[in-house]
Chains A and B, each alone.
Chain A
Amino acid sequence: MSEAPKPHRPTTEARWVRVTTTLVSLVFLGLFLVLPLIAVFVEAFRSGVGAYFASFQDPDALAAIRLTLMVAAIAVPLNLVFGIAASWAIAKFHFKGKSLLITLIDLPFSVSPVVAGLVFILLFGAQGLLGPWLRAHDVEIIFALPGIVLATVFVTFPFVARELIPLMQDQGTADEEAALSLGASGFKAFWTVTLPNVRWALLYGVLLCNARAMGEFGAVAVVSGHIRGETNTMPLHVEILYNEYNFVAAFAVASLLALLALLTLAAKSFLEWRYGDAIAARAAH
């Protein structure tokens, strides 16, 4: 009697294939992600804990942190509103130019942030299209907070919309119609049905949007003007410190940014765990 073959799932590959692919991804991840992250913290603490925390006593560093938080606090809510409006329009209504709108939402992903920054210089800069008018009316955009916010909004606006559109399209309009037929006003239906249906995806989009808003370098570098203590965000401040060979301070601020990223990641994983349930419930629905 011949030995029965081992039960074998058709999608399972040979052992060496599994080991190799896993190993390749792990090595890659370690080399390009984990190692640099560790390096940031090692460099930051190289001269001891005291020097590390002293870096944050510097008024310029504090100003950079404040500015970054302020930019994120303006840009993220703006993109939250834009993202909900755009995905609502795309998922629930039929109109001409819909696919064009979807493509345009992806534009910041495909355009280099530096180009985005330059566009704003061309528009609002001293030699720009609207420059003379702005100067005449004493409005500062470039090399000031409004310019930085504009550049950040541009770079981060796909995040919320991109999270919501597929989910809203998938959910369709039946829930809203049900709410309306039961007597709810359009606003009430949105508030009690549409928004709760997408809440996890929305939070997830906001987190990603926030992480990018705080970390954006290219577009902001072009429009900020690098005025210390005034228009330097955290990423720009890191660069300046680094160029001045002030490594401990540079890596200390960088570590703060990295920490923010790690926190976002943790929050995102938590949400995926929660949100995963929601997806399963929907599939069974």
Chain B
Amino acid sequence: MVRRSRAESVALAEASEPLALPHRAADDLRFIRRTMETSGAFTSLPGSTGLALSATAFAAAGGASLVDDDTRWLSVWIGAAILAALLGVLFVERRARGMGTSLLGLQGRRFLLGLLPAIVAGAVLTFVLHSGGLTRSLPGVWLLLYGVGVTTAGLLSLRLLLVMGPLFMLLGVGALLTSPVGGDLWMAAGFGGLDLVFALVLRKISR
């Protein structure tokens, strides 16, 4: 091991500093920007959103389990998804306004962009699978794709989503493996249970 005197170490540090400092400066600026954006996203996701989504999912799972017809079953879940999306937008917008930002601010756009490809893919697959008579395979597909979307959104915002996304994906795999049985239970576990846990954790953290 090479041992250097303090004087040599200082000289080396000084020699490298003019080159290193601009790199450090650029790195610092990136760090500051990223931290400010992430903190904005962190506080724009209220726990009440998760509670609303969870309640909607539990109600939909209960309602859908009573329906035999595939088209009516699908209508229940699509209706619940639309209601959940509206509630989500309402809560996040209200929180963002309270903080002097907007839903479609930088963080909101990033979050939606992370989620959007998975939602679009889910819509296309819903149409294709329902047309092909595979409606009861949809819970697995929805959970899997939602997990992908949440994970992507987590890369751009809240670290907690990086845990939540893969858990949704695992439930999706479980639903696909047991398909066509138990779809509503898997949906209740994911969109009801996981959202509830997420909401409670978020509330605890924000205290």
Chain B associates with chain A: no
Which residues does B use to contact A, with CB under 8 Å?
Answer: none
Binding site for B on A (CB under 8 A): none
